[in-house]
């Protein structure tokens, strides 16, 4: 096969692939630039193909170009975030992997780059960091009303014996600066506990910041946590990360098992050495931050599955708080319901005074896969839709279709299956029914189930649904 035929094959392959691909030959000419790459970089293909790469992207310092580094320095770069201006002056952010291609004599004959556009996500994360910086009240303004709701132990309701024991343990945790590891199902109120610990501690006048590790792409999370240094990578600016912003206070890392495995190792080092280094930087910055981490699945299973580093878990699990699900403390359901009705009466201008006996039975018998959040949403829906009723009846309680109290799982029998298999079968059935009720729309199904969209997506992947 001739060289031109090889190039045609490669070009056709690149155009058919579901990847953004750019290939430059050893003379720095772009020989392949597929449609997906044109979309990522927002450039017309004809303005790049066959032209000197360094001329088309002349506004980028060649030392900052990963393609130039691959060709000139034989250097591979993997999953590097880049923010730069394209040939038309428009800012683009992408995650790139670039590799040199070697000939038989060991010389570099080409370089290729695979990219993923994250411009929108980057803008979102920059806005998030900026807002968190602005949300921190200046020392001179400590008397001002906080911008976010602060939760304390007074906001945690429940008289169940086991639950009160957990609350007391959390209160004791507030007297320490040791790391806290909270385990509890989705919707159980883990952040409520985390904030309560912080605002009852000696750090209460310091910042409390929270980051859901599953809500941010892997490529951006490190910069958000540790900050970035100007010149550390293309488009990088000097920006403090959450650790610096939370200095003297508490940082909540929600769903920590969603953090990339390598980044968990870096977090462990920060916890041990008590300093951070910004992405692309060389300066060690001391930080005094208390970490509260949460997971919504059994941590031992997460460790076995390779989602959570065991050394990080044991470093964080100095104080362990295991919050029981609502179905295991049914004696708290009516108390919580009364509390929610009072708040919603005030919010929506309603006058619900009491629950009917059948409504009580219906509430107590439900298993609440979405825990307290599900109950909260259920009562809010009932009160907000009430007309002039003073009694909240069972007909006003609209559970997720197919998830009626207890009866909905009567069709399952444990037989020889263990409890985990049984619960998995129940969960899969509920998810299927929620998806059917929402016509396959994941966002709507997640709303029906009172869980996060990312959590539902994870479960769908887990069960191969």
Contacts of 189 (CB under 8 A, 6+ apart): 156, 323, 371, 372, 373
218-233: b or e for each residue (b if 16 or more CB lie within 10 Å)? Answer: ebbbbbbbbbbbeebb
The CATH number of residue 349's host domain is 1.10.8.60
The CATH number of residue 48's host domain is 3.30.450.20
Is there a single domain that holds both residue 39 and residue 157?
no
Is there a single domain that holds both residue 318 and residue 336?
no
Is there a single domain that holds both residue 246 and residue 380?
no
Total Cβ atoms within 10 A of residue 28: 19
Reduced to 3 states (helix: H, G, I; strand: E, B; else coil), residue 425 is helix
For 356, the token pair is 């009917």
Percent of the chain topping pLDDT 90: 42
Question: What domain count does the chain have?
Answer: 3
Is there a single domain that holds both residue 102 and residue 26?
yes
For 187, the token pair is 């919707």
Q: Which domain holds residue 400?
A: 330-463
Is there a single domain that holds both residue 31 and residue 103?
yes
Is there a single domain that holds both residue 82 and residue 143?
no
Is there a single domain that holds both residue 84 and residue 153?
no
**pLDDT per position in the chain (465 positions), as tens?**
566 666 677 777 766 766 788 899 988 899 888 888 888 778 888 888 888 888 887 767 777 788 888 898 888 887 777 676 666 667 677 777 888 988 888 889 889 888 876 555 555 555 555 555 555 554 444 434 334 578 999 999 999 999 999 999 999 999 999 999 999 999 999 999 999 999 999 999 999 999 999 877 766 788 889 988 875 444 556 788 899 999 999 999 999 999 988 899 999 999 999 999 988 788 899 999 999 999 999 999 999 988 999 999 999 999 999 999 999 999 999 999 999 999 999 999 999 999 999 999 999 999 999 999 999 999 999 999 888 889 999 989 988 654 444 444 444 444 444 556 656 776 777 787 777 777 777 887 877 777 877 778 878 877 777
Give the H/E segment covering residue 101. Answer: strand 91-102
| 8 A C-beta contact, residue 270 and residue 230 | no
Q: How far apart are CA 398 and CA 374, in angstroms?
A: 11
Sign of the CA dihedral running 198, 203, 206, 212: negative
Is there a single domain that holds both residue 146 and residue 212?
yes
Sign of the CA dihedral running 213, 217, 218, 222: negative
Is there a single domain that holds both residue 337 and residue 295?
no
Sign of the CA dihedral running 262, 264, 267, 273: negative
Is there a single domain that holds both residue 130 and residue 66?
no
- Strand boundaries in 154-198, DSSP class E: 180-183
Q: What angle do CA 193, 199, 202 make, to 5 degrees?
A: 125
Provide the terminal-to-terminal Cα distance of the chain, rounded to the nearest Å: 44
Q: Is the pTM of this model over 0.85?
A: no
Is there a single domain that holds both residue 375 and residue 295?
no
Is there a single domain that holds both residue 40 and residue 151?
no
């Amino acid at each position: 096969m001739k060289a031109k035929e090889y190039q045609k094959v490669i070009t056709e392959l690149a155009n058919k692939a579901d990847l953004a691909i750019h290939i430059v030959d050893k003379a720095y000419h772009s020989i392949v630039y597929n449609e997906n790459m044109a979309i990522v970089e927002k450039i017309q293909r004809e303005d790049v193909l066959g032209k000197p790469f360094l001329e088309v992207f002349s506004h980028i310092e060649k030392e900052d170009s990963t393609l130039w580094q691959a060709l000139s320095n034989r250097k591979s770069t993997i999953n590097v975030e880049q923010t730069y201006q394209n040939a038309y002056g428009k800012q683009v952010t992408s995650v790139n992997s670039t590799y040199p291609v070697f000939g038989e004599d060991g010389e570099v004959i080409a370089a290729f780059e695979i990219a993923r556009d994250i411009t929108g996500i980057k803008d979102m994360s920059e806005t998030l960091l900026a807002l968190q910086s602005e949300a921190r009240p200046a020392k001179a303004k400590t008397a001002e009303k906080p911008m976010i709701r602060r939760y304390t132990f007074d906001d945690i309701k429940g008289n169940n014996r086991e639950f009160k024991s957990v609350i007391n343990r959390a209160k004791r945790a507030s007297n320490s600066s040791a790391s806290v590891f909270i385990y509890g199902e989705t919707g159980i109120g883990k952040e409520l506990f985390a904030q309560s610990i912080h605002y009852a501690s000696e750090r209460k006048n310091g910042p409390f910041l929270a980051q859901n590790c599953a809500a941010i792409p892997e490529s951006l999370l490190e910069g958000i946590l540790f900050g970035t240094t100007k010149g550390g990578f293309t488009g990088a600016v000097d920006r403090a990360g959450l650790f610096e912003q939370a200095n003297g206070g508490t940082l909540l890392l929600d769903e920590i098992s969603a953090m990339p495995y390598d980044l968990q190792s870096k977090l462990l080092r920060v916890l041990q050495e008590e300093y951070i280094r910004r992405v692309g930087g060389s300066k060690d910055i001391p930080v005094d931050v208390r970490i509260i981490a949460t997971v919504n699945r059994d941590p031992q299973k997460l460790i076995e599955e390779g989602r959570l580093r065991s050394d990080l878990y044991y470093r964080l699990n100095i104080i362990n708080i295991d919050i029981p699900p609502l179905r295991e403390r049914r004696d708290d359901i009516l108390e919580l319901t009364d509390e929610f009705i009072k708040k919603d009466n005030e919010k929506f201008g309603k006058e619900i005074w009491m629950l009917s006996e059948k409504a009580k039975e219906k509430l107590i018998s439900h298993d609440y896969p979405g825990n307290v959040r599900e109950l909260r949403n259920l009562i809010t829906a009932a009160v907000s839709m009430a007309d002039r009723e003073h009694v909240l009846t069972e007909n006003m309680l609209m559970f997720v279709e197919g998830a009626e109290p207890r009866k909905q799982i009567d069709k399952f029998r444990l037989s020889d299956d263990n409890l985990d298999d049984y619960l998995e079968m129940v969960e899969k059935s509920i998810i299927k029914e929620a998806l059917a009720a929402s016509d396959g729309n994941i966002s709507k199904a997640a709303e029906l189930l009172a869980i996060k969209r990312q959590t539902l997506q994870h479960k769908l992947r887990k069960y191969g649904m």
